[in-house]
Amino acid sequence: MIKVSYGPTIDFKNCNGCGECFAICPMDVYGWDEKQHLPVINYPEECRACLYCELKCSNKAIDVRFPVHALLDFGINPKNI
C-alpha cells in the first residue's frame, strides 16, 4: 500500500457515522466499515481535493490535506502550513 501525506482525514471524535462523505465523494476515496458503521479512507491517493466531503460534513470531522505540488501551484510554501 502506498503511504500518502495528502487527502482526507477523519476525526472520529467528531464523526457521527452519517455516511455523507462516503456518499458524496466523486473519486471513491472512501469505503464503509459495516461493523462500526463508519467511513474509512481506502484510497487517499485518488483524492483530487475537491473538498465536497469536507464541505458536506456537518460535524467538521473531515479535513482534506492538499498535495505539495498543488500548494506550490498556488504559490503556497508548504513549510508555512
Q: Strand runs (DSSP E) across 1-81, as ranges?
A: 7-10, 30-33, 38-41, 62-65
pLDDT digits (tens, 9 = 90+) for 15-47: 999 999 999 999 999 999 999 999 999 999 899
pLDDT digits (tens, 9 = 90+) for 39-59: 999 999 899 999 999 999 999
Q: Where are the domains of the chain?
A: 7-80
Q: In the structure grid, which three cell numbers stand for residue 62, read together? A: 473531515
Q: Which amino acid is at 15?
A: C
- Residue 74: band (very low, low, confident or very high) from pLDDT cuts 50, 70, 90: confident
In CATH terms, 7-80 corresponds, of 3.40.50.1100, 3.40.640.10, 3.30.70.20, 3.30.70.330, to 3.30.70.20
